[in-house]
Chain A
């Protein structure tokens, strides 16, 4: 009996010791150091956009290196980290890299880990549309935390949700497609088109820009098809599209790893691709050099990504030199890289102005206008609107054959000062883009009839007719 009593006591003591240990683990090791600013960079390391992980981090850290004294640990691998960052007189520590997979649930889990456990004051990110919707909703009741969207293009975070602590220094998915509808209407004579778009918020927002632009000038979208993100077999979705004789063209808004398979499924259903019958959003850029369908896309007009590859200005030369200095070999003209770079530049500017203070002070100090290498309007300055959303020049491109004979992108148009509202079509009271939103309506957009041709990287005075 006495031995049993001793065992009971030992057991109890063990339980208490284990509990104390757990409590120690729980409360230890992630305490913030006074006087430092804690930053998290949130990208996708898995899923449809996992390939962009190093691009996201590379873009952000290039800005830290150039403007805040950061030293890369490995110039070939941005996720190896960076030290020595200082802004506003304070040390800036990158406390962690978020590993998303383009789903809201993982984005929220990573946000809690980075912002609550690792106590980040600021997040630069995320990458993907629905991640940004989730994080904007998370940030709304947490005003002490600041979010600078990395490259997510869903409309909701800065229009329908629009928390005061969420900023976006690049266009949304709709803005990126400004001008493409007008280009195919005028240059290719499209009047009726079908659109196939990924069934999630970025797909809807990107598609919304194409639909708004094409319908505004008089085009009609006769069919909308929605394959889920991460679909691998597109045959049933392609079969929902009208056959080539019934429409003048097809808009493709199918991304990540799905672009190539979707186009191949089209060829299996309707025969080889004819470039004059196809257009789409930035996802078509990623085909170039990677998919066997890419050579048959030469001549296709494609929406922009907020960057202007091949633009010949002093600002772009300086930008390329900066990227080459810190992370040589990184694709500076890639939107994932560039948008994170710009967002981090803004953060550094804000910290310098706030003296390293975070929270509401930082949010007040974050710039409402910032110079941008791929901006020509207002002498190269991107401004934020009242919802902290960038108003940005856009650059439709065309897939062409480069000097080596491989598919590449070339600037084809310049659309100045594109705002998120599309001239009042999208408002905070209008439903967020979706399967039926926006409707196809004729409207005058601010840039209609003002899109200028770009030849060999130089913006001409010729308006596209």
Chain B
């Protein structure tokens, strides 16, 4: 068996193991771990997956994905909340049917993603990066300044109005855990399938050689725009789940901080492999929780700073030691292990492996 095939088998075994553990999660870990760490890992991983999809297969590092997640969540929140006495006090409080609201929120986000993509797809490199950052900033300013859709105060009660098939996610957090896990698995399979389709293959060709692909007759702009739309779909799913998980949305869920956090998650996990999305999300959330619990609020001794300082150091270390993130580190370790494996001389008459 070749080295690559061996690695693939090993990764599949690990993946199966992780999936089994995830399915058993609520029975194995505490409620806090299930709800705050693992469910959030699935959801933020979906958001990071939208970024990694664009980066790994489209060559586009988009800083708009947190903004798109937020747009989806805000749209949902404004549509479902009802403004009844004792209830929600911010946002449009349209009181729409939750199922309709979810569909509209996702379609709206895809539409906005396609629009963003149509504008950004002609740019490359740093210009593309800055343009997508601008989208997130625009989204943040819109939701914070247009107080009719929220303002600085949180839009609340989003988790109280869910479609029938989703059920009560306020009291039954295990239900939400499995829904988030299911959507995460769906997103993973979707992306793995898409990149093998003719569209996915040509998108990767455009990633590597846009000029050559254009000269071969491929519509580079259209491919990139569509990829942005797909990224918007994935981000929209993450945004809806986040709204149900948090129950509330405020501008800081959509602003520069959220954008940087999603980028950090993707970089820590690995921008080149889709699995890095969830690995990075888990590492980020776990470190955040451990640091907050163990470091005094007035900061680290001598150097000061708290979580952001620690995550900054980790980010630096990853970029220096393994620019492809934790998944890149895994690839590298595997490569080293294979390189060191001594070559066995084949016995006479023994077939080669």
Q: How many residues of A contact B (CB 8 A)?
A: 54
With A45-B298, A141-B171 as given contacts, are A200 and B248 in contact (CB-CB < 8 Å)?
Answer: no
Select the stretch in A15-23, A176-184, A367-375, A438-446 that faces chain B: A15-23
- From A11, A22, A99, A434, B297 is in contact (CB under 8 Å) with A99
Residues from chain A with a CB closer than 8 A to the CB of B289 are 113, 117
Q: Does B339 contact A (CB under 8 A)?
A: no
Q: Is the CB of A138 within 8 A of B248?
A: yes
The reply to whether A27 and B29 contact each other, CB–CB distance below 8 Å, is yes
In the bound complex, residues from chain B placing their C-beta under 8 Å from that of A192 are: none
Selected interface stretch from B42-50, B151-159, B179-187, B320-328: B151-159
List the B side residues contacting A118 at CB < 8 Å.
Answer: 293
Q: Which of A429-462 contact B (CB under 8 A)?
A: 429, 431-432, 434-435
Counting CB contacts under 8 A, is B253 at the interface?
yes
Are A435 and B147 in contact, with the CB atoms below 8 A? yes
Q: Is the CB of B144 within 8 A of A160?
A: no
Which chain B residue shows the least CB distance to A427? Answer: B85
- Give the shortest distance, in Å, between B340 (CB) and chain A (any CB): 12
Partner of B85, one of A15, A108, A154, A160: A160
**Contact pattern, B 72-102, Cβ under 8 Å of A = 1, otherwise 0:** 0000000000000111111000000000000
Q: Does B119 contact A (CB under 8 A)?
A: no
The answer to whether A429 touches B85 (Cβ under 8 A) is yes
Contact A160 B86 (CB under 8 A): yes
- Contact status A104-B248, CB under 8 Å: yes
What residue in chain B is nearest A163 (Cβ atoms)?
B86
Set A105, A160, A200, A429: member contacting B151, Cβ < 8 A: A200
B32 interface residue (CB < 8 Å to A): yes
Determine the chain A residues whose CB is within 8 A of the CB of B157 once the complex forms: 137
Given A113-B293, A133-B89, also A19-B17 (CB < 8 A): yes
Q: Tell me whether A130 and B85 are in contact in the complex, defined as CB-CB below 8 angstroms, given that A11-B13, A15-B17 are known contacts.
A: no
In contact, A19 and B89 (Cβ under 8 angstroms): no
Q: How far is the CA of A118 from the CA of B31 in the complex (A)?
A: 11
Task: Let me know if A108 and B246 touch, CB within 8 A.
Answer: yes
What 0/1 pattern do residues 234 to 257 of B give for CB contact below 8 A with A?
Answer: 000000000000111010110000
Given A105-B252, A116-B31, A117-B36, verify A134-B154 contact (CB < 8 Å): yes
User: A57 — nearest CB in chain B belongs to which residue?
Assistant: B297
Q: Determine if A15 and B14 form an interchain contact, defined as CB atoms under 8 angstroms apart.
A: yes
Interface string of B147-172 (1 = CB under 8 A from A): 10001111011001000000000110
Q: Is A162 an interface residue (CB 8 A)?
A: yes
State whether B247 touches A137 (Cβ < 8 A): yes
B227 nearest CB across to chain A (Å): 29
A429 to chain B: closest residue by CB: B85
Contacting residues, chain B, for A15 (C-beta < 8 A): 14, 17-18
- On whether the beta carbons of A229 and B152 are closer than 8 Å, the reply is yes
* Chain A residue with the shortest CB-CB distance to B299: A45
Residues of B contacting A428 in the complex (Cβ-Cβ under 8 angstroms): 85-86
The A-contacting residues of B in range 262-309, CB under 8 angstroms, are 289, 292-293, 296-298, 306
Q: How many Å from the CB of B336 to the closest CB on chain A?
A: 14
A16, A26, A117, A228 — most chain B CB neighbours (10 Å):
A26
**Please, how many angstroms separate the alpha-carbon atoms of A201 and B90 in the complex?**
10
Q: Are B298 and A26 in contact (CB under 8 A)?
A: no
Is A106 engaged at the interface, CB distance under 8 Å to the other chain? yes
A400-413 vs B, CB cutoff 8 Å, 1 = contact: the mask equals 00000000000000
Q: How many A-B residue pairs have CB under 8 A?
A: 138
* Interchain CB contact (< 8 A) of B152 among A106, A116, A130: A130
What residues on B are CB-neighbors of A220 within 8 Å?
A: none
Of residues 1 through 37 on chain A, the ones whose CB sits less than 8 Å from some CB of chain B are: 1, 4, 8, 11-12, 15-16, 19, 22-23, 26-27, 30
B298 / chain A contacts, CB cutoff of 8 Å: 45, 79
Interface string of A99-128 (1 = CB under 8 A from B): 100011110101011001110000000000
B103 at the interface (CB under 8 A from A): no
A225 within 8 A of B: no
Establish whether residues A11 and B89, one from each chain, have CB atoms under 8 Å apart when the complex forms.
no
- B30 at the binding interface (Cβ < 8 Å): yes
Smallest Cβ distance from A158 to chain B, in angstroms?
A: 11
**A96 nearest CB neighbor, chain B only:** B293
Quick check: is B197 within 8 A (CB to CB) of the other chain?
no
A265 at the interface (CB under 8 A from B): no
Contact of A12 with B248 in the complex, beta carbons under 8 Å? no
Q: Are A228 and B86 in contact (CB under 8 A)?
A: no
State the CA gap A228–B153 with chains docked (Å): 12
User: Is A137 touching B86 in the complex (CB atoms < 8 A)?
Assistant: no
Contacts of B86 in A (CB 8 A): 160-163, 428
Question: Which residues of the other chain, A, contact B156 by a CB distance below 8 angstroms?
Answer: 133-134, 137, 161
- Please tell me if A53 contacts chain B, counting CB pairs below 8 Å: yes
Q: How far is the CA of A1 from the CA of B144 in the complex (A)?
A: 61
Question: Within 8 Å CB of B9, what residues of A?
Answer: 8
In angstroms, how far is the closest chain B Cβ from the Cβ of A297?
27
Is A333 part of the contact surface with B, judged by Cβ < 8 Å?
no
Residues of chain A within 8 A (CB-CB) of B18 are 15, 19
In the bound assembly, the distance between CA atoms of A429 and B84 in angstroms comes to: 8
Do residues B21 and A19 form an inter-chain contact, with CB atoms below 8 A? yes
User: Do B297 and A53 have beta carbons less than 8 Å apart?
Assistant: yes
Known contacts A26-B32, A133-B154; is A432 also within 8 Å of B248 by CB?
Answer: no
Chain A residue nearest to B14 in the complex (CB): A15
Complex Cα–Cα for A53 and B298 (A) = 10
Quick check: is A156 within 8 A (CB to CB) of the other chain?
A: yes
Question: CB-CB < 8 A to A103: which residues of B?
Answer: 250, 252
CB distance from A149 to the nearest CB of B (A): 15
Quick one: given A113-B292, A134-B248, are A27 and B30 in contact (CB under 8 Å)? yes
For A161, list chain B residues within 8 Å (CB).
Answer: 86-87, 89, 156
A327 within 8 A of B: no
- CB <8 Å contact, A105 and B89: no
Q: Bound complex: CA of A97 vs CA of B306, how far in Å?
A: 14
List the A side residues contacting B153 at CB < 8 Å.
104, 129-130, 133, 154, 156, 200-201, 432
B250 touches A104 (CB 8 A): yes
* Chain A residues whose CB sits within 8 angstroms of the CB of B145 once the complex forms: 199, 228
The chain B residue sitting closest to A80, CB to CB, is B296
Given A12-B13, A105-B253, A200–B152 Cβ distance below 8 Å? yes
A108 to B248, CA, bound (A): 9
A12 lies within 8 A of B17 (CB): yes
Contacts of A229 in B (CB 8 A): 152
Once bound together, how far apart are the Cα atoms of A181 and B247, in whole Å?
38
Tell me if B199 counts as interface (CB < 8 A to partner A).
no
A105 to B249 CA separation, bound complex (whole angstroms)? 8
Closest to B34 in A: A26
Q: Which residue of B6, B32, B152, B154 has the most chain A CB atoms within 10 A of its CB atom?
A: B152
What would 11 more interface pairs be, CB under 8 Å, given A30-B32, A99-B297, A200-B152?
A: A23-B33, A45-B297, A79-B296, A96-B293, A104-B250, A105-B253, A116-B35, A117-B293, A137-B157, A141-B160, A434-B147
A-B contact pairs, 5 of them (CB 8 A): A15-B18, A97-B297, A117-B289, A137-B248, A161-B87
**7 nearest A-B pairs in the assembled complex, by CB-CB distance:** A26-B33, A137-B156, A200-B152, A26-B29, A104-B250, A104-B154, A27-B30
